[in-house]
Amino acid sequence: MRGLIQGSHRFLVVLLLELLLLGLWLPHSLDVYRTDLDRRFEYVITDPFFQFPRPSVRWVDPRSLIPHEHTSRPHLEALLSHLREKATTDYLPVPVITASRPCVILDGHHRVAASIRLGLPLIPAWEVDDTEEKTNWSGTAIKVYSRDDGSRMRISKVVRSARQGRVDYGIKGTRHVAVVSSEGRELELERVTPRIPWGVWASSGAGGRLDASNILMLSW
């Protein structure tokens, strides 16, 4: 009987936490996905002395991708609701994954999780060089920071932990940026991420190749 009561208490605590998270995350999530993710154009790299690596976008099986962060259920539900109402011509930034295998998600955990929930066998993803920092720590194009203390993290450490099955960074515990100028100016990675129409994304490759005809990239 005592075990039953304790189990009920645990259930109520979990339920209250979920409701609290729903209140905290849902308005923010809806705002994020109705503004940031719907923007077609964020930034043009115009520095003539800076060469940003041209993004490589390909179709991948979302179930094969390894997360390094947890997802928020309220955040995920908000995104799913948004995607179900999204026009097929609206653009959406693709998830960012490692080029090394097995692929680890660097950015876009909720977009990957939503695609799995929607039953999509393939999704578009931007592969980035996750080994560059080994030989070019100060000049790497993609960087990861801890949201806890703001310190820069080694992508290799994040990737290694994920591949070992350790999801050590909570929900949105890391921040990802792109270096967009020779002076080292940084922007949130999502702001320079290639975008494709939701209709092409949802087609899971049936719509054809991913190329300049259906990928919106910034001016590099």
Domain spans in the chain, listed from the N-terminal domain onward: 2-202
pLDDT (tens digit per residue) in 56-96: 999 999 999 999 999 999 999 999 999 999 999 999 999 99
- Structure confidence at residue 72 (pLDDT): 93
Contact yes or no for 120/60 (Cβ under 8 A): no
- More confident: 191 or 217: 191
- Structure confidence at residue 156 (pLDDT): 95
- Tokens describing residue 39: 């923007």
What pTM value is reported for the model?
0.79
Contact yes or no for 155/130 (Cβ under 8 A): yes
- Structure confidence at residue 19 (pLDDT): 44
pLDDT (tens digit per residue) in 115-150: 999 999 999 999 999 999 999 999 899 999 999 999
- Compute the mean pLDDT over every residue in the chain, rounded to the nearest whole number: 81
What class is the 2-202 domain?
alpha beta
- 159 pLDDT more than 50: yes
**Cα 94 to the center of its chain, rounded Å:** 7
- 9 pLDDT more than 70: no
Residue 48's pLDDT band (boundaries 50, 70, 90)? low
Residue 28's pLDDT band (boundaries 50, 70, 90)? very low
- Structure confidence at residue 206 (pLDDT): 84
Of all residues in the chain, the percent with pLDDT exceeding 70 is 75
Report d(CA 147, CA 116) in Å as an integer.
27
- More confident: 32 or 89: 89
- Tokens describing residue 84: 């179900």
